[in-house]
């Protein structure tokens, strides 16, 4: 890190996370890893969904201007991300200048690492001649699918008619057209984001929160197409020992409830920090879980039920049937839940963090993707790694009951549990000394030190 005859040390890394739970977690985990390698960390973040600085005493935080908008659907997320990038561009210049003023006389910024959704730092970094690195918080598969969208569009395959939804996208096995990470309903608007986020030419490297043993051939393909080095350094939640960056309070009482359940018996249900459902779907989910007769731990995030505050809309009969069998929380300590011996399956929306967290604990999944990258991840879970069952179509109690029983009781589920355990062991090998992610982190640290 020492430069110019030991005069100036480029020892600070500026992180710019995307303002969503699934983007904040891995970015701050990366920050902890870099901090333990001797770097000082400054997090520059929009005030919307900002993590609590007091939970991260090792980092400095600089707020960007607040925006009045919020984002709860994919359409809104796209508008929100575009607006945020516009709003933050100029202010980021000022933030960087502020960081530089506060540095010791011999300290300097080594580089800026920004989330792929937050492309606004590029311009300021270029002006100030600071190196930039892009951070992809999603899978390599999603990254390749996003790249392929332009080609598919040029060939006239996008937008695609309803009749093609189930057709395979030849160059993207096992994806079907309906799994593509696009928003057919707001296509014009949608295109603005990938056209901007794909413009990463000035960044010197790309970091992936993924792991070689899961996405080896896809990572090789990306590296072949890419002019700059790529660093698959995940799963970051497993490598980092940093504090939790949860935006909502975790209800740890569910861990005591899990202590009372038998090994591998509980199905854990969560659709992450953004996805939502309507009251009818909530009720179908409730009955499906009850009728499966498996114990369940169910996260119902406040605000995630369209037209309701929380679970007050569940019919009394259902509430009575849930009784002792089910435990409902507003937000769970998910990583601890998945590591608990009582949990034997995860009904998930297949956000990339949830997918990695489940695989790392050897927990097979029921895949209920809602939008965007989740559909790609779900296909990989069910058709490539084969550690999950798909739950497609309308949410309906009979289907939920069937798929929960299949995963938790049937031989097919047991075989998936065995496969998931093997994947867990493979991931462990990638993380430990000499493993692919371990080596990748060392190469990344060396690169940043060389700036």
- Applying CB under 6 A, the residues found at the interface with ligand UDP are 20-22, 25, 246, 270, 272-275, 299, 331-332, 334-335, 351-354, 357
Nearer to ligand UDP among residue 65 and residue 303 (C-beta): 303
Rounded CA gap, 175 and 307, in Å? 33
**Least distance (Å) between residue 299 CB and ligand UDP:** 4
**Least distance (Å) between residue 424 CB and ligand UDP:** 16
- Helix (H/G/I), strand (E/B), else coil: 233: coil
Nearer to ligand UDP among residue 96 and residue 360 (C-beta): 360
Nearer to ligand UDP among residue 164 and residue 339 (C-beta): 339
Nearer to ligand UDP among residue 21 and residue 261 (C-beta): 21
CA angle 354, 152, 85 (to 5 degrees): 55
Rounded CA gap, 365 and 113, in Å? 32
Nearer to ligand UDP among residue 131 and residue 369 (C-beta): 369
Nearer to ligand UDP among residue 226 and residue 247 (C-beta): 247
Sign of the dihedral defined by the CA atoms of residues 188, 190, 195, 196, in that order? positive
**Least distance (Å) between residue 334 CB and ligand UDP:** 3
Residues 441, 246, 92, 42, Cα dihedral to 10°: -50
Nearer to ligand UDP among residue 11 and residue 25 (C-beta): 25
- Helix (H/G/I), strand (E/B), else coil: 432: coil
At 41, give phi and psi (nearest 5°): -120, 130
The burial class, CB within 10 Å (0-12 / 13-18 / 19+), for 163 is exposed
Alpha helices in 361-408 (DSSP H): 373-379, 397-408
Nearer to ligand UDP among residue 11 and residue 261 (C-beta): 261
- Of 113, 53, 42, 49, which Cα lies nearest the Cα of 77? 49
**Least distance (Å) between residue 398 CB and ligand UDP:** 26
The DSSP symbol for 372 reads T
At 217, give phi and psi (nearest 5°): -70, -30
Question: Is residue 25 a contact partner of residue 33, using CB atoms and an 8 Å limit?
Answer: no
Place of tokens 């309070």: 249
The DSSP symbol for 323 reads T
Rounded CA gap, 103 and 24, in Å? 25
Count of beta carbons in the 10 Å neighbourhood of residue 221: 15
Nearer to ligand UDP among residue 17 and residue 351 (C-beta): 351
**Least distance (Å) between residue 301 CB and ligand UDP:** 7
Rounded CA gap, 266 and 268, in Å? 6
**Least distance (Å) between residue 16 CB and ligand UDP:** 17
- Of 222, 210, 228, 189, which Cα lies nearest the Cα of 83? 189
**Least distance (Å) between residue 448 CB and ligand UDP:** 25
Sign of the dihedral defined by the CA atoms of residues 300, 301, 303, 306, in that order? negative
- Of 217, 171, 186, which Cα lies nearest the Cα of 371? 186
Nearer to ligand UDP among residue 133 and residue 328 (C-beta): 328
């Amino acid at each position: 890190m020492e430069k110019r005859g030991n005069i100036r040390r480029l020892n600070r890394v500026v992180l710019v996370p995307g303002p969503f739970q699934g983007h904040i977690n891995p970015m701050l985990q990366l920050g902890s890893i870099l901090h333990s390698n001797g770097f000082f960390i400054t997090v520059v973040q929009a005030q919307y969904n900002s993590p609590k600085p007091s939970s991260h005493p090792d980092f400095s935080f600089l707020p960007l201007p607040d925006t009045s908008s919020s984002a709860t659907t994919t359409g809104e997320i796209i508008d929100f991300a575009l607006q945020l990038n516009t709003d933050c561009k100029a202010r980021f210049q000022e933030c960087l200048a502020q960081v530089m003023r506060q540095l010791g006389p011999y300290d300097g910024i080594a580089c800026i690492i920004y989330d792929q959704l937050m492309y606004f730092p590029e311009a300021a970094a270029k002006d100030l001649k600071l190196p930039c690195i892009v951070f992809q918080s999603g899978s390599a598969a999603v990254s390749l699918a996003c790249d392929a969208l332009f080609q598919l569009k040029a060939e006239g395959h996008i937008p695609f008619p309803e009749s093609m939804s189930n057709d395979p996208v030849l160059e993207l096995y096992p994806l079907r057209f309906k799994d593509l990470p696009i928003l057919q309903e707001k296509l014009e608007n949608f295109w603005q984001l990938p056209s901007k986020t794909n413009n990463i030419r000035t960044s010197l490297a790309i970091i992936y929160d993924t792991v070689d043993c899961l996405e080896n051939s896809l990572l090789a393909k990306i590296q072949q197409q890419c002019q700059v080095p790529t660093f698959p350094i995940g799963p970051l939640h497993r490598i980092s020992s940093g504090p939790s960056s949860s935006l909502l309070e975790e209800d740890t009482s569910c861990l005591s409830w899990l202590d009372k359940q038998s090994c591998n018996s509980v199905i854990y249900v969560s659709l992450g920090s953004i996805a939502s459902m309507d009251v009818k779907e909530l009720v179908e989910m409730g009955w499906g879980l009850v009728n499966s007769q498996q114990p369940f731990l169910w996260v119902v995030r406040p605000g995630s039920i369209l037209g309701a505050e929380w679970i007050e809309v569940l019919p009394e009969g259902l509430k009575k049937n849930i009784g002792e069998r089910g435990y409902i929380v507003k937000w769970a300590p998910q990583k601890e839940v998945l590591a608990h011996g009582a949990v034997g399956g995860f009904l998930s929306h297949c956000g990339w963090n949830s997918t990695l967290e489940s695989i790392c604990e050897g927990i097979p999944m029921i895949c209920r993707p809602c939008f965007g990258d989740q559909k790609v991840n779900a296909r990989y879970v069910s058709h490539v790694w084969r550690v999950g069952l798909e739950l497609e179509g309308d949410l309906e109690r009979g289907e939920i009951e069937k798929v929960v029983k299949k995963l938790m009781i049937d031989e097919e589920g047991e075989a998936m549990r065995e496969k998931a355990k093997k994947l867990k062991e493979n991931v462990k090998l990638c993380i430990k000394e000499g493993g692919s992610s371990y080596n990748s982190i060392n190469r990344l640290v060396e690169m940043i030190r060389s700036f």
